[in-house]
């Protein structure tokens, strides 16, 4: 890989995806290189869930549709080309722009399992959708702990 003018790898972009300090122990020492192979070697710089291109600003709708400039068409959340009926959907009122950043994710949430079949290159949207059940579980656990502490020290949680 070639280096940019600041000595950073050109293929991985300006900044690598951050890993929390307390979680770095769970990742292999060559995670940055392994991640680049998955994102740019296997996935060719596109999300493996929806096909959004890394580093590009894309137009998105709230329902997950996005404008693919290369194909000059709208795509759904799974990357399939979709038709937008003229006059029925007011897409210009709900459109927003987002910059796509690919991250390598573990399909089974096990950071020790770095087999290529367990790793996926996903954009922010696909990664969040994949992690949603885990986020819901953690949210429930946080609320449960807060209620328990409230009951223990301040009486019934209110």
List, for residues 73-88, the tens digit of each pLDDT value. Answer: 888 888 888 877 666 6
Going by pLDDT thresholds of 50, 70 and 90, the confidence category of residue 17 is: low
Q: Say yes or no to pLDDT of 89 above 90.
A: no
Distance, in Å, from the CA atom of 42 to the CA atom of 135, rounded to the nearest integer, reads: 28
pLDDT score of 113 more than 80: yes
The pLDDT value recorded for residue 11 is 47
**Calpha distance 134→146 (Å, rounded):** 18
Return d(Cα 57, Cα 64) in angstroms, integer.
15
Q: What angle do CA 86, 98, 40 make, to 5 degrees?
A: 110
Q: Tell me the per-residue pLDDT of 55-66, one tens digit each, with 9 for 90 and over.
A: 999 998 888 888
pLDDT value, residue 46:
94
User: What span, in angstroms and rounded, lies between the C-alpha atoms of 52 and 68?
Assistant: 8
Q: What per-residue confidence (pLDDT) applies to 100?
A: 94
Burial class (CB in 10 A: 0-12, 13-18, 19+), 104: buried
- Among candidates 49, 88, 46, 38, which has minimal Cα distance to 71? 46
pTM over 0.85: no
Task: Convert the pLDDT of each residue in 24-57 to its tens digit.
Answer: 888 888 899 999 999 999 999 999 999 999 999 9
Q: What is the pLDDT of residue 158?
A: 52
pLDDT at residue 148 greater than cutoff 60: yes
Give the residue ranges of DSSP H helices in 3-122.
31-36, 91-94
């Amino acid at each position: 890989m070639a280096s940019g003018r600041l000595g950073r790898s050109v293929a991985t972009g300006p900044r690598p995806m951050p890993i929390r300090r307390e979680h770095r122990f769970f990742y292999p020492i060559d995670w940055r290189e392994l991640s680049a192979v998955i994102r740019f070697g296997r996935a060719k710089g596109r999300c493996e869930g929806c096909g959004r291109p890394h580093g590009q600003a894309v137009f998105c709708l709230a329902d997950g549709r996005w404008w693919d400039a290369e194909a000059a068409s709208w795509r759904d959340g799974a990357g399939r080309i979709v038709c937008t009926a003229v006059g029925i959907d007011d897409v210009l009122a709900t459109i927003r722009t987002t910059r796509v950043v690919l991250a390598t994710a573990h399909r089974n949430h096990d950071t020790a399992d770095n087999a290529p079949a367990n790793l996926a290159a996903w954009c922010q949207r696909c990664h969040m959708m994949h992690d949603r059940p885990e986020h819901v579980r953690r949210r429930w656990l946080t609320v449960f702990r807060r209620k328990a502490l409230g009951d223990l020290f301040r009486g019934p949680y209110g």
